[in-house]
Structure 1
Amino acid sequence: MKELSKKNTFFVGLLLFSMFFGAGNLIFPPFLGQLSGKYVWIAFSGFIITAVGLPILAVIIVSKSKGLFNLAAHVNPTFALIFTALIYLSIGPFLGIPRTGSLAFTMGVSPFLPKSLASSPIPLLIYTLIYFSIAFWLSLTPSKLVNRLGKVLTPILLVLIFIVFIKSLITPIGAFGTPKGDYSSFPFFKGFSDGYLTMDVIAALNFGIVISSTLKSMGVKSEKSIISYSIKAGLIVGAMLIIIYAMLSYVGASSRTISLNAQNGGEILTSAASHLFGHYGIIILGVIFSLACLNTATGLITSCSEYFTTLTKNKLSYKTWVFIFAFLSMLFANIGLTKILSISVPVLNAIYPMAIILMIMFLLSNLFKGSKYVYILGMSFTGIFSILDSLNQTLIKSSTINSTFNLLPLYTKGLGWIVPALIGLILGYLIHIFKKSHTA
């Protein structure tokens, strides 16, 4: 068995970080910082639970369960097939990957275009064609990702973010303002629910397959060692994410006076970078967004392709799947960032609670002896609520459903799924005890 050096373990951690740290990771912390104002660190503490803690926990759980499908199969094999495919497709070509390309264009290219060109669809089409061609090339050889992403692109990205943060400390932009909206009433819970938007729990469920194959290509063969190094890489990523998120949240919180009408974190960072570095700030920010988004797109294309290659039992080659996902992502990226973000919120609100409760059940499985009843009812109650709530918020918009759901504790804070999940878990456990007593 080959042991990885601390240096190589760190580079695997950098690879995992590069796959995590993309579009949402850049735009949501500054927006949280600006809206939460003087409550920024309260909101931040809730944010890192769902944006850092849960994703790292997901990496560990997926490693221990030897893959997302095996994890979901505790509920039901058919559910595992559908849920796993849904996770990969939503974080992949239908949402997550296109968002990286659209955001990279919006932040890295659009600011330099004349207004007549910026409003035309042609520049975005040309940019995404080049962008996803590069992502396609990088994804063709997963064994080289550590060298290309972990050792080169990610360190450059981190240095640039650090430069922006240090400059904001040396020449402060402004004071923290008064919290706005839900951040003034319940900043912790608002930060907690906003952590969903990074999509990192969903991404973490996917990335385990890439880390596993990367470790195997580096000579690590035993399952125990793969799990061990995956956990170490996850902890490295967790520490790095907390530091970077804190920096970005601080920049956002101190930038209210120069970006009062900002609609998202990208606009806030643009204002901050311009204020700190002038015209060069936009260039720096453009490089940051381009590198971060490209890293994540490569990781997502790789993980989706490896999964579907296995799912189709190699009837379609890995390279074919890479091309399919890169091409589909390019097409969907051209609907624009605003549209992609509007779609992502209801999809994430439906999927996230299901992913969280699945992980919780796996962690507690020894308490209920891995009973199918607990898994099935826990997931059923959570899934029915989260899907119905998401549909109601976007399509149904029923006042009856709203008034009923408003009776649930924490519903107004975005955590209404907790009570249905608990009901499902308790009912499942009671049935488990009843069945056990009648078979004894």
Structure 2
Amino acid sequence: MNKDALIVGLALFAMFFGAGNLIFPPYLGMESGDLWPVGLVCFVFFDVVVSCVGVFAINKAGGSILAIQNALGKKAGLALNTAAIFCVGMLIAPPRCAATTFEMGIAPWFGDAIGLLPFSVAFFAVVLLLTMRSTRIIDVVGKVLTPLLVAGIVVMVIAGIACPLGPVGAPETDTVVADGVLAGYQTMDILAVVGFSILVQESVRAAGYRDKRSQMSVTARASLVACVLLAIIYGGLTYLGATSASVVPHNVSQAELITMIVWKLMGEAGVAVLGVVVGLACLTTAIGLCGATADYVERITMRRVSYRAALIAMVVISLLICNLGLTNIIALASPVLSVICPPFMTTVVLLLFRDRIRSTWAFKGAAAAAVAASLVLTLHELSGAFAFVEAAPLYAYGFAWLLPSAIGGVVGALLGRRFDSAASGVSAPKIEQVHN
């Protein structure tokens, strides 16, 4: 493991590890009881493994922009890429990061003395300052902010291991596996892989790796570092939740649970540590996403919009959205993410098998079916107009789009064979005539 791979891996860990990643595992542990390792494995697979391997797969398949476009076609790929990265890099995640930091790290201590507007201005000023040079993002996050973030989490976990809040009891749910899968899915980290792939690619090149083989070697090891570190941290947080079941009320929210755990373990000092952890987790994620989105805009506009101009626009828009408040941001984000995430996740997962999938029709069929299914499901969630979808397999777990997507992929693959063979049959005589 060389130094460059370690730094990139640490930065990738911190960019993936946002506030949602901090609050989901303890709640999963509380509900899973002594089956918390099972829930943890499911959570880690659907969040950590899919996302970290996705970064590697996208870069291997041609890069963060070309990979999706090569699979779905230029227009469809550009549309899906842009929708995903604008959602997580500007419209949803950075505003939510700032609002979450305010509500969990500032408001409990200062109340109304510091409002959301002045805090968000300061938050995004720091983000802007630390992202003005895209090639420096990985260094700043990996070398400086990540060690502080990890240290804060380790302090909380060690306190919980040394003095457990209570015994780990029986599970409080019969759906531990499903809960772990759903929690991993709800982090929506998969949508960030396009933007983070850009930053990883830029950082690896800036470190002096010019040929594809050496770049992929560093990317693979960096993804492994992020994957292992995320899994370890999630394991500690899930264990904290499992030990809290007998001492906290079970009607608490996910954010309230982690706050109560830390309060009982470490008192006011622990809540202060939690505030620092939340702030660093949100800051590193916002830095990564804003920088990646600005880099993406520069690329797709062929540098007609500069990185710095795009970055300033991203930060200003995120600042304005942030002041809608955390509750409103979450309410607005939910239906948007419900439509975008299924086709994007489907495409990224299929890219892992790019060498075995001969036709792009399979990608197109799977993504198109995922879009259609997710639109119907989202409309039903908003209006209740399509009650029949509740009978679909995996509906209760948020994966009712999975079967239609699989069917779409199979149909697309079959159509691809037919049209590809027809095209080759037509083109063969023309080639022969030219040679004759």
**Equivalent residue, structure 2, for 1:407:** 391
Equivalent in 85, 105, 108 of residue 105 of structure 2: 108
TM-aligned CA deviation for residue 209 of structure 1 = 0.4
Aligned pair 1:18/2:3, yes or no?
no
Within the alignment, does 1:329 sit opposite 2:325 as a pair? no
1:43 to 2:39 alignment: yes
Tell me what 2:73 maps to: 76
Find out whether 1:58 has 2:54 as its counterpart. Answer: yes
Deviation at 1:356, TM superposition (A): 2.1
Aligned position for 1:160? 152
SS of the aligned residue for 2:91 comes to coil
Q: Are the aligned partners of 1:52 and 1:238 in contact in 2 as well (CA < 8 Å)?
A: yes
Q: Deviations over 1:118-147 (max 9, x none)?
A: 7xxx61111111011000000002232343
1:228 pairs, out of 199, 207, 217, with 217
Aligned residues of 2:28 and 2:179 also touching (Cα < 8 A): no
Runs of 5+ consecutive residues of structure 2 not aligned to the other structure? 426-436
2:248 equivalent among 256, 259, 263: 259
- The AA in structure 1 aligned to 2:411 is L
- Residue from 361, 364, 382 that aligns with 1:376: 364
2:93 equivalent among 93, 96, 110: 96
User: Take 1:64 and 1:79, find their aligned partners in 2: how far apart are those partners?
Assistant: 20
1:361-383, Cα deviation, whole Å (9 max, x unpaired): 323344441x2322221111111
**Distance (Å, rounded) in 1 between the aligned partners of 2:287 and 2:166:** 37
1:304-343 paired onto structure 2 within 5 Å: 304-343=293-332
Q: Is the CA contact (8 Å cut-off) linking 2:4 and 2:207 kept in structure 1?
A: no
Counterpart selection for 1:85 from 74, 82, 85: 82
Question: What TM-score comes out, normalization by structure 1 length?
Answer: 0.91
Name which of 280, 287, 290 aligns with 1:291: 280
Q: Distance in 1 between matches of 2:265 and 2:224?
A: 32
Q: CA deviation at 1:349?
A: 2.8
5+ residue gaps in structure 1?
A: none
1:419 and 1:14 mapped to 2: Cα distance?
36
Question: Which position in structure 2 is the counterpart of 1:390?
Answer: 378
Q: Is the 8 A contact 2:4 2:218 kept in 1?
A: no
Higher alpha-carbon deviation: 81-90 or 216-225: 216-225
In 1, distance between residues paired with 2:116 and 2:169?
A: 35
Distance 2:201 2:22 in 1: 26
Contact 2:63 2:197 in 1 (8 A): yes
What amino acid does structure 1 have at the position aligned with 2:101?
A: A
Match of residue 172, structure 1, among 141, 164, 173:
164
Partner secondary structure for residue 406 of structure 1: helix
1:354 Cα deviation from its structure 2 partner: 1.1
CA RMSD for the aligned pairs?
A: 1.9
Question: Using the alignment, how far apart are the partners of 1:199 and 1:342 within structure 2?
Answer: 15
Partner of 1:34: 30
CA contact (8 A) 1:302 1:322 kept: yes
The one of 212, 216, 221 aligned to 2:205: 216
Q: Tell me the residue number matched to 2:134.
A: 142
Report how many aligned residue pairs link the two structures: 423
Q: 127-136 vs 195-204, which deviates more?
A: 195-204
Q: What is the distance in 1 between the residues matched to 2:153 and 2:393?
A: 39
Instruction: Provide the rounded CA distance (Å) in 1 between the counterparts of 2:323 and 2:166.
Output: 36
Higher mean C-alpha deviation, range 284-293 or range 215-224 = 215-224
- For the pair 1:433 / 2:425, whether they are aligned, the reply is no
Hey, what's the Cα distance between the residues in 2 that align with 1:344 and 1:33?
26
**Retained in 1: the 8 A contact 2:165–2:243?**
yes
1:67 partnered with 2:63: yes
Residue deviations 1:160-219 (CA, integer Å, cap 9, x gap): 111111111111112335544xxx232212211221222211112220000111112221
Cα distance in 1 for residues equivalent to 2:138 and 2:406:
41
Structure 1 letter corresponding to 2:383: I
Please list the CA deviations of residues 341-367 of structure 1 after superposition, one character each: whole Å capped at 9, or x if unmatched: 333333333222212211233233444
The one-letter amino acid paired with 1:61 is: A
CA distances 1:303-329 after superposition (whole Å, capped 9, x unpaired): 000000112222222111111111111
